[in-house]
Copies of this chain bind each other. A is one copy, B any other.
Amino acid sequence: MSQRHIESQRKASGSGRGKDGDGAERHEAIYRSISDAIIEHRLKPGARLREDALAEVFGVSRTGIRKILQRLALEQLVTLTPRRGASVTRPTADEAKDVFDARQMVECGLMPEVARRITDDDVRELRDMARREREALRAGEQSTAIKLSAAFHERLAQLSGNATLAEFVGRLCSRSSLILAVYGNAGHLGCESHDHDDLIGYLEAGNGERAAAFMGRHLKAIEASLSIIEETEEAPDLHSIFGR
């Protein structure tokens, strides 16, 4: 028992607490680690996630890993095939369309309410997020930029005051990140340079209609930038598709 816990110490990067922490918090941290790795494309779609390996890396037993994996599966970030284990979800073209249609409906629909409720503090926060995203983009840190972009959209949804829809948008953004990993062009990242800044401007002016329309175009632009040309791929791709 103790051996494992000792193992876990080396993983706890920066965590000063000597024991193994609260447990629940550790699981949350692990969940976020894996989730971030997927969203940032450090774990690519199709990558297999073996329970034993994850359990060893994070210094917990398979039980905890299984719980986390199931949560990720429910959010459709990983796919759980009955006796084959977990792997990072590889979205289909249909799913991609569904996700972006859903975002179109929900995120645009939320804009008027956001414009109505937004405060100066919120505007400041959003501008800061947009700035950091731009910086990451300019620095070539794609991983960070992708995560920040998703975070921006999610934060925006939260400002509507509807927690249920905000959570939904959060999930859609996560899945969008996966979709970008599969169908996105390398050089052409999700959100364009100052789209987000322009959007903030409309919201700050209280113009929900303009914001909604702009968000619509913004999402359409992202979707259009995807190259949804799936299937009919050669042997080497089969290799990666089937995970090994």
Contacts and interface: CB of A to CB of B under 8 A. Distances in A.
A70 B99 CA distance: 24
Interface stretch (A3-11, A134-142, A161-169): A161-169
Interface residues of A, number: 22
Nearest to A105: B109
A95 interface: yes
A101 interface: yes
A162 B101 contact: yes
A74 B164 CA distance: 12
A99 B24 CA distance: 28
A106 interface: yes
Contacts of A163: 94-95, 98
A177 to B, nearest CB: 15
A188 interface: no
Contacts of A162: 98, 101-102
Interface string A100-135: 011001100110000000000000000000000000
- Chain A: interface secondary structure? helix
Contact of A165 (B24, B94, B101): B101
Contacts of A70: 67, 70-71
Contacts of A106: 105-106
A148 to B, nearest CB: 23
Given A106-B106, A109-B109, A98 B165 contact: yes
B109 A164 contact: no
A99 B105 CA distance: 16
A25 B115 CA distance: 47
Which of A71, A110, A162: most chain B CB closer than 10 A? A162
Contacts of A172: 164
A16 interface: no
A236 interface: no
A82 interface: yes
Interface string A68-81: 00110010000000
A105 B102 contact: no
Nearest to A109: B105
Interface string A50-88: 000000000000000001001100100000001000000
Contacts of A74: 71, 74
